[in-house]
């Protein structure tokens, strides 16, 4: 019988439980079936974010699979930042019950697994932060103190802060017995960052520098169809409509279905890939069958971008940004781009108007105009140099 060792450690400013075992493909795949299991490249181990409910369910999952559990689980949870460790007490029995029902509430709203994990982790820490205070007496002041502590001590980014507020607002709606007014929890404004975009030449260099056939076809699809990484992983062979050069995305972000394009230029590449790897169900499959992992895609994309001499940070979403920006520069109407990307709101797509170079290239700097006018006044064909 395979023995699974559960060991506490701190990762991503959270108390986690490392899952260690003698390598076996079957054991690895069974462990990954449990919702909330992640892989960390830093520590090279599978792990869970620690909480009593999740850990109890995970141990039950292991035993159902005929696996023996050897554990050294943490007695409390901790947050760590810049060498300082902050202890949070375990949940009280009443709060444990409320937290378990909150997880069911999130699942009932059909949120994605990642959203459930994110919201529940913030609410778990909030319930721990308030210690023995009964849940029905929690108010906005408790929320304010927790947010101040989390943002100040753990140095959360704006995006993480916004996720935390969303999680706490959902908890207030879920548990009306408390006196938290969800609308009074301040939501910070988003950072207005422009997306990183590769030039068309950089994209071509990236694809041509990728020697592995499976990796090359994955990169070509991410850019050529503007896919999110989750959409690529979940892509099935039945989603391809080659006569119409269309790709049917059945379960995109927000469970929104859409059609997008397949680049005709990669048809030979797709045929070669299919004949070589012979996938059974999913477009990208791991060697033993089943879905390819997002971590593997990010890793080989980063490696091949470096091989192509690209100095920008290249992620799957950078290829999606590049696809949208290049469409806009070709003169494609932004409403069609919105539909191809699967954006619910046109405002989301409008960000690409800020990075499109088509119109910017037609604008002359006032310095260029000033030097040009000076040259004309001097009746000289000689260019005025400022270097």
Which residue numbers are catalytic? Answer: 228, 253, 317, 320, 343, 352
Structure tokens at 378: 């001097």
Cα-based angle 303, 307, 312 (whole degrees, multiple of 5): 75
Burial of 317 (0-12, 13-18, 19+ CB in 10 A): middle
Structure tokens at 293: 């992992």
The Cα 228–Cα 298 span in angstroms is: 12
Contacts with 347 (C-beta within 8 Å, 6 or more apart), sequence order: none
The Cα 138–Cα 129 span in angstroms is: 11
Return the closest-CA partner of residue 222 out of 183, 257, 189, 262. 262
Q: Residue 71 in 3-state DSSP?
A: strand
Q: Which residues are paired to 71 by β-bridges?
A: 6
Q: Which residues are paired to 16 by β-bridges?
A: 9, 49
């Amino acid at each position: 019988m395979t023995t699974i060792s559960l060991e506490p450690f701190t990762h991503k400013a959270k108390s986690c439980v490392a899952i260690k075992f003698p390598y076996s493909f079957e054991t690895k795949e069974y462990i990954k079936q449990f919702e909330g299991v992640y892989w960390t490249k830093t520590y090279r181990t599978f792990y869970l974010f620690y909480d009593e409910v999740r850990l109890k369910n995970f141990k039950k999952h292991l035993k159902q699979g005929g696996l023996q559990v050897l554990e050294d689980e943490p007695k409390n949870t901790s947050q760590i930042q810049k060498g300082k460790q902050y202890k949070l007490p375990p949940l009280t029995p009443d709060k444990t019950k409320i937290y378990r029902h909150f997880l069911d509430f999130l699942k009932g709203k059909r949120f994605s697994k990642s959203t459930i994990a994110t919201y529940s982790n913030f609410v778990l820490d909030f319930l721990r932060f308030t210690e023995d205070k009964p849940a029905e007496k929690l108010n906005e002041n408790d929320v304010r103190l927790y947010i101040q502590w989390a943002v100040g001590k753990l140095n959360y980014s704006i995006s993480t802060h916004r996720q935390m507020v969303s999680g706490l607002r959902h908890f207030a709606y879920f548990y009306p017995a408390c006196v938290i007014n969800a609308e009074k929890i301040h939501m910070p404004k988003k950072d207005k960052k422009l997306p990183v975009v590769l030039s068309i030449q950089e994209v071509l260099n990236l694809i041509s520098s990728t020697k592995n056939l499976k990796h090359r076809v994955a990169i070509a699809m991410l850019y050529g169809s503007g896919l999110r990484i989750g959409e690529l992983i979940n892509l099935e062979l039945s989603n391809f409509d080659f006569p119409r050069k269309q790709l049917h995305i059945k379960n995109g972000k927000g469970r929104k279905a859409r059609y997008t394009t397949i680049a005709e230029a990669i048809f030979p590449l797709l045929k070669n890939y299919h004949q070589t790897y012979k996938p059974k169900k999913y477009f990208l499959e791991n060697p033993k069958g089943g879905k390819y992992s997002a971590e593997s895609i990010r890793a080989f994309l980063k490696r091949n971008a470096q091989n192509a001499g690209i100095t920008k940070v290249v992620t799957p979403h950078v290829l999606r940004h590049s696809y949208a920006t290049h469409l806009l520069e070709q003169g494609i109407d932004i409403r069609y781009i919105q539909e191809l990307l699967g954006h619910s709101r046109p405002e989301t797509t409008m960000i690409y108007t800020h990075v499109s170079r088509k119109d910017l290239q037609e604008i002359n700097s006032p310095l260029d105009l000033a030097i040009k006018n000076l040259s004309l006044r001097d009746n000289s064909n000689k260019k005025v140099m400022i270097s």
